[in-house]
Amino acid sequence: MTRHALIAWAAFACLCLSAADAALAQGGPSGRAPPPEGEAAIAQRMNANTVTVISGTPGGTYFRMASDLAFALDDGDALRILPVLGKGAGQNAYDVRFLRGIDLAFVRTDTLDQLRQDPRLRNIESHIAYVARLFNDELHVIASRDITDYRQLEGKKVSFDVKGSGSDYTGRAMFDGLGLKVEAVNVDQPTALKLLAAGEIAALVSVAAKPVAVLTSITDAERYHFLEMPYTEPLMKNYFPARLTHDDYPRLVAAGESVNTAAVGTILASYAWPERSDRYRRIARFVDAFFSKIDALQQPQRHPKWNEVNLEASVAGWSRFPAAQEWLDAHRGGGAVSAATRQALRRDLRDRAPDLRPGERDRLLDEFMRWRASRQ
């Protein structure tokens, strides 16, 4: 089967799929089983269809949401999401830019500014793109009740979580925006709570999606509280006003009250791979499944932060990953193709042209999808 014949077949198949998706998903209209695969073919297929997502520490919001992606988007050998433990948004920015084998990462809207401050890096905007803006991470500052104003932290020891975490970079940047100079300490949050209890640090900072599990575990509300953090002009470039409420932290915030603070946006980012590369096609396959199944991620059993996600939301100063923008453009024009439909086409192509390498099949299918979107 020639290249043009395959593309012509795909056009015909897409017109007929509305009544045949279920049958195709079971192996194609012919009902024939695909030819047996050897070990080399199995390895190639599994690697071609596995996407790694670097997240955060165990139990944290990023790791929980990466796990949601793995469960909700799993499609056997057709698409597998592999969550990877990480240090948090600060280190994730470097990992998605430089670490081999990392396809996607949870980073933040201030990540580009973070990387621009590294004198070793050049032209960072051309190397990282965003797939989608996800949700906000709120600034939490916990201190003993004898500290009533954030300015009392001046010159004191304050924990910003482990080095390389999102709290480490964003928390410090927020403090700098407030003109607040403190002695930064980098320890994990459970250790920081012990140091706070012993009076060895003045406050604990966490920049994370509320409610933060380690903070909900605090039971001694008579001793600790959240500090009000003002939203000032220097914060307006990268951050947003936010509130912590009684519903978020019933032990630390009284009913009917709230605590003003700031927040930063979380982004699902990718390295900016060339459009004809295998890594680009792998992320494009993820985008198709993620965007098509966003409703499944907003079900009650998933992390509540998924309900904040608006796939069409843009991020100032960032470029959208092209496959994500193409999906949105096609969706707005009524030309979106579901993940199930795309996978049905892929399987039928495999049955009809078993001699083609998986990468070549994907290239032909991607070319057809781009042509179809342009025709819509």
138-195 pLDDT tens trace: 999 999 999 999 999 999 999 999 988 889 999 999 999 999 999 999 999 999 999 9
Same domain, 261 and 141: yes
Residue 276 belongs to some domain of the structure: no
Of 182-191, 218-227, 348-357, the least confident: 348-357
pLDDT of residue 88: 86
120 within some domain = no
The CATH number covering residue 248 comes to: 3.40.190.10
Position 249 in a domain: yes
220-249 average pLDDT score: 93
Give the pLDDT confidence score for residue 25 in this predicted structure.
41
Furthest-apart CA pair in the chain: how many Å?
Answer: 77
Between CA 81 and CA 52 the distance in angstroms is 6
Helix or strand or coil: residue 196? helix
Same structural domain, 158 and 253: yes
Residues 6+ apart with CB under 8 A from 165: 56, 57, 87, 88, 89, 90, 91
Query: Where does a domain end: 204, 239, 266?
Result: 266
- Read off the pTM: 0.74
213, 239, 266 - which closes a domain = 266
Instruction: Give 94-143 pLDDT, tens digit per residue.
Output: 999 999 999 999 999 999 999 999 999 999 989 999 999 999 999 999 99
The pLDDT confidence band at residue 222, using thresholds 50, 70 and 90, is confident
Instruction: Name the nearest CA neighbour of 240 among 225, 260, 258.
Output: 260
The bridge status of strand 183-185 relative to strand 80-84 is unpaired
Pairing verdict, β 50-54 and 80-84: parallel
Residues 142 and 250 in one domain: yes
pLDDT score recorded for residue 193: 93
Which pLDDT score is estimated for 242? 95
User: Closest Cα partner for 209 from 292, 289, 109, 139?
Assistant: 139
Write down which residue in 222, 241, 266 finishes a domain. Answer: 266
Per-residue model confidence (pLDDT) at position 24: 41
Number of domains in the chain: 2
pLDDT at 336: 47
Q: What is the DSSP letter of 233?
A: G
Domain with 225 in it: 137-266
